[in-house]
């Protein structure tokens, strides 16, 4: 509790905003920086590896092996590109299926939920969307395990809201 209070007291939103603005300006500048250029090269490499082996990919962990020719922990910094390049269509289709199954019915249930249910669904979806967006710019498959945890959580909440609504309608 004390740590939370200290963080809130010491947090400087203006400095955070200024830092974020500076990063975006840098990304949009002609120089772009080494990080941006490296990520762009990794994105292109991941797409090239997918094109080389679209069905089964180059194997889990294969991106680093192919990119640097040594076993290391390198990855394309994009979950979708990593799944496509390392597992191909064989791994990408189940990932899309997990996304679709987890989010199916969300819109319908959010509209028919009571305020408590709506808050729960919206909160879970917000965390899931944050994890998904973060997974598009950082981390490898293992680092982005929050995505794979939150998708079933959202699915379970949607199913729970649906069954509650069906029970109420029947009564």
Which residue segment(s) compose the domain that 147 sits in?
A: 2-170
pLDDT at 52: 95
Number of H helices, E strands in the chain: 8, 0
To 10 degrees, the CA torsion angle through 62, 64, 66, 70?
-110
* Dihedral of the alpha carbons of 45, 20, 32, 65, in degrees to the nearest 10: -20
| pLDDT number for residue 8 | 47
Instruction: Say which DSSP state 58 is in.
Output: S
Q: In whole angstroms, give the CA distance from residue 76 to residue 36.
A: 12
Question: What's the rounded mean pLDDT across residues 103-119?
Answer: 78
Mean of pLDDT over the chain: 79
Residue 94 pLDDT level (bands cut at 50, 70, 90)? very high
Asked if the model's pLDDT at residue 3 lies above 60, the reply is: no
Residue 22 confidence (pLDDT) = 66
pTM of the model: 0.71
* Domains in the chain, number: 1
pLDDT exceeding 90 applies to what percent of the chain? 20
Query: CA 71 to CA 29: how far, in whole Å?
Result: 34
The residue among 66 and 57 whose pLDDT is bigger is 57
Question: Three-state SS for 56?
Answer: coil
């Amino acid at each position: 509790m004390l740590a939370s209070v200290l963080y809130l007291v010491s947090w400087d939103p203006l400095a955070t905003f200024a830092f974020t603005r500076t990063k975006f300006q840098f990304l949009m500048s002609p120089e772009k920086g080494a990080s941006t250029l490296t990520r762009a090269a990794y994105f292109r490499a991941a797409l090239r590896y997918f094109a080389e082996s679209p069905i089964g990919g180059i194997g889990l962990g294969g991106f680093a092996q192919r990119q640097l020719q040594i076993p290391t922990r390198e990855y394309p910094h994009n979950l979708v590109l990593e799944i496509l390049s390392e597992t191909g269509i064989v791994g990408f289709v189940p990932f899309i299926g997990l996304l679709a199954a987890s989010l199916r019915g969300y819109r319908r249930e959010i509209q028919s939920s009571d305020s408590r249910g709506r808050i729960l669904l919206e909160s879970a979806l917000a965390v899931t969307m944050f994890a998904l967006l973060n997974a598009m710019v950082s981390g490898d498959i293992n680092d982005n395990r929050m995505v794979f945890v939150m998708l079933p959580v959202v699915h379970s909440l949607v199913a729970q809201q649906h069954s509650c609504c069906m029970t109420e309608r029947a009564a």
